[in-house]
Amino acid sequence: MLFKKRRTRTVTKSDFGKNVEISRYNPITKKGVYKEKDVTYRADGSPREKYVEKQVVKRDKDWNWKSEKSKYSLYIGGKKQKSETSFNTYKPKNKKR
């Protein structure tokens, strides 16, 4: 049986910047990635800013979350200013027989 990766991409533009949301899921590896970017265009006297939020989730065969990794980054003028990462693991739920 052939499994297909699911992907979505949404871009919302405004006069000041854009928001990009991308999600992917691979059923073979049971891994999903969600990434969101907020980009503020460069204006006179201010550099371009980019805020990136990325979340990677691994699931088991029953679609329960096994682990989650979240990363938040702020870039100003192309240079990384702040970065924060968090990691969580989840215990499997008890199954009824």
pTM beyond 0.85, yes or no: no
Report how far residue 32's alpha carbon sits from residue 21's, in angstroms, rounded to the nearest whole number: 13
Question: In the prediction, which pLDDT does 12 show?
Answer: 94
Question: In the prediction, which pLDDT does 44 show?
Answer: 83
Do 83 and 54 meet the contact criterion of CB atoms below 8 Å apart?
no
User: Which among 86, 84, 80, 31 has a CA at the least distance from the CA of 60?
Assistant: 31
Q: How confident is the model at residue 61 (pLDDT cuts 50, 70, 90)?
A: confident
CA distances for 87 relative to 19, 44, 68, 84, 90, angstroms: 25, 39, 6, 10, 10
Query: Residue 3: what residue type?
Result: F
